[in-house]
Structure 1
């Protein structure tokens, strides 16, 4: 069966939700392994032209929300600086292959491949084993910035809540909200430009506070899948500082945030569809599915087949 096409946009900054699962049974990714995987994400994000917006490293998979930058935004001096900062003076920059290096450092596929391959080498050496660790290629979807992105980030940060690992999302240190809270966003790993103009905030601390409020209010809603944040925990957090704002009776429709090809407002989904419909093997106009519980949010399933291509 042909591989399903991956949707990639190279002509503008684009946010992707990446998911990759292990091929091994059980929960092979232990706490020390989570630390190592997070360290890889941090190190490689200094090399690649990517903004990390969110993540959750779990026992058998990881989520990564990242904004990739297009090649035409990147100068040769940017490439050289990143290269030298990452490799130091010991590894000479191949200036005769500048175009090739630039293409790679702006590639979602190369970025995630580096993360996964480096982790596999680490894990196999640690356990004196050989073979695959990850279960095939990673899944990715294009995400519209703004309210769609914030809803997605909440879904990602609530993974450890749904799994019953912690009672408060920031208590899980291998997630973006945990990283914000426990480290103060050490080394500036996480970008907090969510594109949500409604918040009208420039103060980083206030943006994180509002995001934390959104995650709590969202996580308190019983979606019928997994555990929720206990009401007494939410009430306690409210009393400590954030005001109650308009709360959508948001019910997780997990498949939209994991199986879609594109997710966002209807106009955004239509725009991307027009760019990628040649990959879908169908001339029919695609009908977009509204995501229940979130007004104005639509999803386009990735139903076509073909090879990995870029637009």
Structure 2
């Protein structure tokens, strides 16, 4: 059976949902939720993604995340795997903590971010755990409500509401108090309907593979990947660069696109390929 098609690209914003295996709890105590948030913060520093919002329920979580150089599947594997080891160790259990693969819904249009954030923050209210959004401790609401400087990137939401921060906070509070009618967990993509239709029509088409995928397919380690991405000229990396360039050329990327992705000029890529062909 073919793997479900998923739109993914550098700078992509996703609504990520992960649920407990067999609907079991993935967070049994507040300290569990605190540990998960700690990992979300720490991996944010090392993997370079942005988090715009989250809520941790007892048997599932929602995160609004933007990826850059790291693939979403790599980020989520690190976060979920680390937490699973913690959870199984703490509760002396074995087996899967999460139910299969996480669900990732592409946010195509940033204008929908505000309503999506409201949907995420209102999860505990809909579940009957509290009456108001601000009463629930385990969400990113407080970062917006109190303008807390931390790992939650609040600027994009504030700018949608008001150019003035104080005005944006006031409008945020009013917006969160209004009910969100859309269920953002059931969509294939969030944004323009035409784009969603386009995505569905492309399921059966062969997609050009992303440059990062081609780079990882050369067999490099994460350390070597970071070295290449930072423009390192270490001799041991040349073979990986060549494999990457050959594969990218076969995928019909331009020499400029191939080079910019690993800190090289188009001329340097051409010279490297020319030496290989001779």
Q: TM-score with structure 2 length normalisation?
A: 0.66
Provide, for residues 2-26 of structure 1, a one-character-per-residue CA deviation record: whole Å limited to 9, x for no partner: 432222123xx22100000010554
- Cα distance 1:189–1:56, how it changes in 2: closer, same or farther (>3 A)? same
Distance in 2 (alpha carbons) for counterparts of 1:188 and 1:158: 21
Bigger relative contact order, structure 1 or 2 (CA pairs below 8 A, ≥6 apart) = 1
User: Runs of 4+ in structure 1 displaced over 6 angstroms?
Assistant: none
| Partner residue, 1:64 | 63
Structure 2: 5+ residue stretches without partners = 208-278
Tell whether 2:150 aligns with 1:187.
Answer: yes
Structure 1: 5+ residue stretches without partners = 72-105, 220-250, 281-311
Distance in 2 (alpha carbons) for counterparts of 1:113 and 1:48: 12
Provide, for residues 204-252 of structure 1, a one-character-per-residue CA deviation record: whole Å limited to 9, x for no partner: 3432332221111235xxxxxxxxxxxxxxxxxxxxxxxxxxxxxxx23
| Partner residue, 1:151 | 115
Please identify which structure carries the higher helix content: 2
Q: CA RMSD in A?
A: 2.6
Tell whether 2:76 aligns with 1:112.
Answer: yes
Distance in 2 (alpha carbons) for counterparts of 1:195 and 1:261: 26
- Cα distance 1:194–1:144, how it changes in 2: closer, same or farther (>3 A)? farther
Secondary structure, in 3 states, of the residue corresponding to 1:174? coil
Asked if 2 retains the 8 angstrom alpha-carbon contact of 1:15 and 1:145, the reply is no
Counterpart among 146, 161, 186 of residue 259 in structure 1: 186
Provide, for residues 140-194 of structure 1, a one-character-per-residue CA deviation record: whole Å limited to 9, x for no partner: 0111344311111111000000011111101212111134346x42424333314
| Partner residue, 1:168 | 132
Aligned length: 206
| Partner residue, 1:19 | 17
Tell whether 2:138 aligns with 1:211.
Answer: no
Asked if 1 retains the 8 angstrom alpha-carbon contact of 2:13 and 2:67, the reply is yes
Tell whether 2:54 aligns with 1:55.
Answer: yes
Asked if 2 retains the 8 angstrom alpha-carbon contact of 1:145 and 1:196, the reply is no
- Cα distance 1:27–1:279, how it changes in 2: closer, same or farther (>3 A)? farther
Counterpart among 103, 125, 129 of residue 89 in structure 2: 125
Asked if 2 retains the 8 angstrom alpha-carbon contact of 1:179 and 1:185, the reply is yes
Provide, for residues 26-76 of structure 1, a one-character-per-residue CA deviation record: whole Å limited to 9, x for no partner: 43412211111111111111112211111111000000001122x4xxxxx
